[in-house]
Amino acid sequence: MNGTLLIVGGTIIHSTGEDPKPILQQAQDDSGQGKTNILIQNGKISLTSSDGIADETMDASGLLIFPGFIDAHVHFREPGLTHKATMASEAAAARAGGVTTVCEMPNTNPPTFTVDAFADKVERAKKITDCDIRFFMGAITHDHLSELRKLWTDPSPEMKRLKKRCCGLKLFLENSTGDLKIEPEVVEEAFRLCAEIHCPITAHCEDARLNEAANAEITDEGVASHSLRRPPESEATSIEYVITLARRYGTMLHIAHLSTGLGLELVRLAKTEGLPITCEVTPHHLFLNTDDYGRLGTYLKMNPPIRSTEDNAALWQGIKDGTIDMVATDHAPHLKEEKEVSPPLSAPSGVPGVETMLPLLLTEAQQGNITYSDIVRLCFMNPNEHYRLGKEDIVDGASLDLVLVDPKEEWEIHGEELHSACGWTPFEGRKVVGKVIRVLSF
């Protein structure tokens, strides 16, 4: 950004707690009381109560101002799967949804198992300006763990540069897109190594043996049987296993896309022990459930699968009591023609979500179910701290992205109007309140 910009009249949202109604009333208050102007100059912000003089003045009256949001779980499909999406297309979707930093998963083609594959992704991301893309390493063999050790501990300038772009190690305890299930004998070594080198592990938790047993018993070939073929007990058993390893070695562990009340309770108990464990939940596991298979069909197929209304309620309680640390989308675009196949269970698993996460959460805040500060905690502060992303909050002297939101604008979500290359959304036609007006980067 060249020159200076003065933003006047907006309401800055931090991660400290507040009731959503006073914030919304404040955003609607034309008197300007309780508001702080933001002067942007030389790439940094200055908080001021005066109007000042700037090259450009932006009236943000009635708007909420957030730091750029973080989606800690995305699949941008590049390299190797660019017929589905690219870094450029999905970064545009992220920015349109107020997300300016993402953590991208290793199940591309080739998978991100080696330093060379990791470096290739970092190089590709240099041309992306819509958001900051960080990357996970993956592993299924001992050789892959050796590559992680090199990336994480080699003192050379090149390795230090690459490590700054690395979120940690992603482990798949069961197959999903890309079939990256880690070899069982490698799992414990991964936990031991990551504890040694202080590298966080993010785990996709499903138990392959329980899934195989469930599949053997089920004869129904409908898409709704996907939730039965990967049952809640599968997730809970896998979570219990990785918590045991985290306890044994002291490894920083993050549970990806938590989908069940059973799994949530295990995480809650582990936290009471003081174990270094965090977890995330996706919007689709919060807002959708097995009743939606009839409406969405194969578009609702994902891993872990969609769950019951009781699981929805348990996950919302986990957000309210602080057990759940993050909301992340598991944004996983597939083309419509890939989803609309027969037999239905052959459809690929995954749904897009990076652009719709914020409006869904803003609607919950507008309705008083969560606070706007909860959104900052779940989608900025906690992922920033856990993955050591180095993002700054809205404070004097900070250099960061700003997201300006109209908390009162009502609109409907339609896939054809979104920016992801896949062109669809499981939230088609959903009415939401709160829309991104402008995203500023400097």
The CATH number of domain 5-65+397-422+430-440 is 1.10.10.1590: no
Please say if the pLDDT value at position 24 is more than 60. Answer: no
Query: What topology does CATH give the domain 68-386?
Result: TIM Barrel (3.20.20)
| Catalytic residue of the set 330, 374, 401, 406 | 330
Q: Please give the helix or strand (H or E) that residue 409 lies within, else none.
A: strand 402-412
> At 220, phi and psi to the nearest 5?
-60, 125
Quote the pLDDT of residue 49.
66
Residue 438: count of CB within 10 angstroms of its CB: 15
What's the CA gap between 48 and 72, in Å, rounded? 32
Please indicate whether the domains covering 5-65+397-422+430-440 and 68-386 agree at the CATH topology level: no
Quote the pLDDT of residue 35.
64
Residue partners of 44: CB distance under 8 A and separation at least 6: 397, 398, 399, 442
Quote the pLDDT of residue 51.
67
Catalytic residue check, 220: no
Residue 127: count of CB within 10 angstroms of its CB: 8
Joined together, the tokens standing for residue 290 give 């097995």
Please say if the pLDDT value at position 33 is more than 80. Answer: no
Residue 408: count of CB within 10 angstroms of its CB: 15
Quote the pLDDT of residue 176.
65
Quote the pLDDT of residue 437.
97
Residue 347: count of CB within 10 angstroms of its CB: 20
Strands (E), 131-212: 132-138, 166-172, 201-204
For 406-416, write each residue's pLDDT tens digit.
Answer: 999 999 999 99
Please say if the pLDDT value at position 390 is more than 70. Answer: yes
Please say if the pLDDT value at position 162 is more than 50. Answer: yes
Q: What is the mean pLDDT of residues 48-72?
A: 89
- Write the CA distances from 121 to 55, 165, 416, integer angstroms: 38, 10, 28
Quote the pLDDT of residue 174.
81
Please say if the pLDDT value at position 419 is more than 80. Answer: yes
Q: What's the pLDDT band for 28 if we cut at 50, 70, 90? A: very low
What's the CA gap between 79 and 118, in Å, rounded? 11
Which class for 249: exposed (0-12), middle (13-18), buried (19 or more C-beta within 10 A)? middle
| 34 close to 26: Cβ distance less than 8 angstroms | yes
Which class for 132: exposed (0-12), middle (13-18), buried (19 or more C-beta within 10 A)? buried
What single DSSP character describes residue 331? B
Strands (E), 60-150: 64-67, 69-74, 99-104, 132-138
For 291-348, write each residue's pLDDT tens digit.
Answer: 999 999 999 999 999 999 999 999 999 999 999 999 999 999 999 999 999 999 999 9
How many CA atoms, within 13 angstroms, populate the side-chain half-sphere of residue 159?
A: 12
Pairing of strands 277-281, 253-255: parallel
% of the chain at pLDDT higher than 70: 93
Quote the pLDDT of residue 21.
43
Q: What is the mean pLDDT of residues 126-143?
A: 97
The mean predicted confidence, pLDDT, of the chain is 93
For 192-209, write each residue's pLDDT tens digit.
Answer: 999 999 999 999 999 999
Distance between first and last Cα of the chain: 6
Q: What's the pLDDT band for 16 if we cut at 50, 70, 90? A: confident
What's the CA gap between 369 and 372, in Å, rounded? 10
What's the CA gap between 421 and 430, in Å, rounded? 20
343: left (phi over 0), alpha (psi -120 to 50) or beta: beta
How far, rounded to the nearest angstrom, does the alpha carbon of residue 17 sit from its chain's CA centroid?
A: 21
Lowest mean pLDDT among 19-23, 243-247, 248-252, 274-278: 19-23
Quote the pLDDT of residue 104.
98
Quote the pLDDT of residue 86.
98
Please say if the pLDDT value at position 27 is more than 70. Answer: no
Q: How many residues does the chain have?
A: 442
Residue partners of 238: CB distance under 8 A and separation at least 6: 173, 174, 203, 205, 206, 207
- What are the residue ranges of helices labelled H in 279-367? 283-287, 293-296, 309-320, 336-339, 357-366
For 207-256, write each residue's pLDDT tens digit.
Answer: 999 999 999 999 999 999 999 999 999 999 999 999 999 999 999 999 99
- For the chain, the domains span 5-65+397-422+430-440, 68-386
List 123's β-bridge partners, or say none.
Answer: none
